[in-house]
Amino acid sequence: MSQVFKGRSILPATVEGQALVTRRGFNTLACFYKSILTHASTAVCGDQDNPELFGRVLTAQIICLPKSIGSTSAGATWDFVAKMGIAPAAMLFSEPIDSLSAAGLILADIWVGRRICTVDQLGAEFLAAVQTGQPLKIMTDGTVIFI
Amino acid sequence: MKLTQEENAIRKGSRGPVWQKVMNTLILYGEALHAECFVDIEWGGHFSIPFALPGVGPRLEMLTELAEAGLKTKYPFTLDPKAPIDFENLGLSAEQKRVFREMLRDQPAYDKRMLELGLRDENAYTCTPYFTEVGNRPPRGAILAWSESSCVVFVNSVLAARTNRNSSILDLLSNIAGKTPLTGLLTDEGRRATWRIDIKVLKRPHPQLLGAAIGRLVMDGVPYITGLDRFLRPDLDDETVDYLKEMGAACAAIGAVGLYHVENITPEAIDQGRRLLVAGAAHDAIDDGKLEALLASYPVMWKDTQAKPRKCFIGCPHLSLRELRGWADSIFDALQAEGRPRIAVETILCAAPHTISRFKADTESYMKLISAGVKLSPTCPEAYMNNPLCAKEPVITNSNKFRAFTSARLLLDEELIEAIVTGRINQSRDLK
């Protein structure tokens, strides 16, 4: 039977894709900076301190994370990532969203017109259950289904 | 969120589409953070968006959209340090200069837009805007919407002003609207301590090493720090303030601390003492052994770990006037002790333009530095390392924040002075 989790939908969208999981903080600037500077057509994680993500493609993935960490430059980073068309498809937070991610993802939505589906408060059980590569379906009400 | 009539009208477009986007951004942001309403900003902003570098500052198109719609911040604001365009102080090769010129090609247009949007003046670039000579020093209790993690933690903790850890661009939009969501560190409850950290050391620790240890423990929690008052003066004199500035910068960069309380030292801890601690607050202690282990855990990121240092940056965050004078004396004394006229490693001390101007007026200290070959710069050491050619250099520093974001190697102050003067690093600490 499919596992189902319910979170709070912040930027609603219906998305299907594969999970890319980090159980430590997602450092937004460190993850995307190299891809931005090199004008990459696909974002590859450049955060050497995150072995779960380092070297993996971030574009069009469903990133599953507790919350983000790092520089207050995160807002501008998301703005650029969205503008370049190399953003993930969705961000699924197990904890309440942090101020830096909230700002960046909302900026991308309103100022670039690129929605990155965002759901938070999915709970520690969600992050414990989800594995990288797991096919997921996200509903607009914040429901996440393992398919 | 509960909106006022005016906020609702702006949301619906009463001031035009750009204002509408600003308000919609702030409303969504406030709702995401569970804010019930907005509060008015009461003091000028400070933002971490000084560069035209992609991914670090806003896109120029966005600044243009805001400026051409006539939007401007409610109060004048300050920005993080200037881009590394003062090539004469930085000892750059022709190729390094070329790369910087290419990376920062939009900087003049960006700077112009910032002035139009409310930047205080052409010298309002530093990560220590709260120093008296710079003048963006909010009073106790003032509601702000600042970014730059080291500034946020300083004004919250040392000045007892109130700001959340805002993201870049949101900082600017909030100060244009003159409003910020009432949540987190703006509230009495959000300022209560979620951790008690006991400092059990024999001598005053390196502030950025202690800050890193605290930040790693508490992450985005609010620590109440005991035992540190043995090493600090209770009247927040310049030396104490500098110590707290350095400690906080590391707490914020290596963890995500936006506010700390130091027992008997910081304003809210003096007033409320341990009543600041929430029920069930977490508890831990830091001793000399933990600090030594932390220091030893830092890897040397240079390609050649035995390389001679080529450059030294001091001043991340920017140095105070007292610190500039202190480094001038220390370097001068070390040169005299070694019988050398000039330093062996190119050294750049970074400080606010206003602080540098005041320091230069102190002719004796300034001449000590100049004669030793030391340079002063208003730029940001981290921005220097954004240039991939600069990032390859073996750079040394005493800043743990700078180390954490770059390949620079951390040395404690005495080791650093020895390296600057002799060109050699004392290898007593194991290389990792």
Domain that holds residue A38: 4-146
3-state secondary structure of A90: strand
Query: Does this model's pTM top 0.90?
Result: yes
CATH number of domain containing A123: 3.50.30.10
CB nearest A100 (choices: B59, B167, B405): B167
Single-letter amino acid code for the residue at B406: T
Chain A residues inside the 8 Å CB shell of B24: 110
Query: Sign of the CA dihedral B288, B289, B294, B295?
Result: positive
Q: Does A36 touch chain B (CB under 8 A)?
A: yes
pLDDT tens digits for chain B (432 residues)?
A: 999 999 999 999 999 999 999 999 999 999 999 999 999 999 999 999 888 888 888 999 999 999 999 999 999 999 999 999 999 999 999 999 999 999 999 999 999 999 999 999 999 999 999 999 999 999 999 999 999 999 999 999 999 999 999 999 999 999 999 999 999 999 999 999 999 999 999 999 999 999 999 998 998 899 999 999 999 998 899 999 999 999 999 999 888 899 999 999 999 999 999 999 999 999 999 999 999 999 999 989 899 999 999 999 999 999 999 999 999 999 999 999 999 999 999 999 999 999 999 999 989 989 989 999 999 999 999 999 989 999 999 999 999 999 988 899 999 999 999 999 999 998 665 433
Q: Does A75 touch chain B (CB under 8 A)?
A: yes
A83, closest residue in chain B (CA to CA): B59
Mutate to test the interface with A, among B169, B216, B403 (most CBs of A within 10 A): B169
Beta carbons of B58 and A73 less than 8 Å apart? no
Pairing of strands B395-397, B409-410: parallel
User: Does the structure's ipTM exceed the value 0.90?
Assistant: yes
Does B394 sit behind a cis peptide bond, omega within 30 degrees of 0 on the bond before it? no
Q: Does A100 touch chain B (CB under 8 A)?
A: yes
B149, closest residue in chain A (CA to CA): A72
What residue ranges do the domains of chain B occupy?
5-186, 192-296, 299-422
Beta carbons of B55 and A32 less than 8 Å apart? yes
pLDDT digits (tens, 9 = 90+) for A60-115: 999 999 998 877 888 999 999 999 999 999 999 999 999 999 999 999 999 999 99
B5-186 and B299-422 agree in CATH topology: yes
| DSSP-derived secondary structure for A36-59 | HHTT-SS-B---TT-TTTTT-B-T
Beta carbons of A29 and B148 less than 8 Å apart? no
Beta carbons of B165 and A107 less than 8 Å apart? no
Q: Does B89 touch chain A (CB under 8 A)?
A: no
Taking one residue from A and the other from B, the number of pairs with CB-CB distance under 8 angstroms is 102
How much is the pLDDT for A1?
59
How much is the pLDDT for B431?
38
Residue B218 near residue B254 (C-beta atoms within 8 A): no
How much is the pLDDT for B406?
87
Count of other CB atoms within 10 angstroms of residue B62: 21
Beta carbons of B29 and A102 less than 8 Å apart? yes
| H or E segment to which residue A138 belongs | strand A135-138
**Count of domains forming chain A:** 1
Q: A48 pLDDT exceeds 80? A: no
CATH number of B299-422: 3.30.499.10
CATH number of B5-186: 3.30.499
Residue B352: φ, ψ to 5°: -65, 150
Beta carbons of A76 and B148 less than 8 Å apart? no
Chain B residues inside the 8 Å CB shell of A83: 59
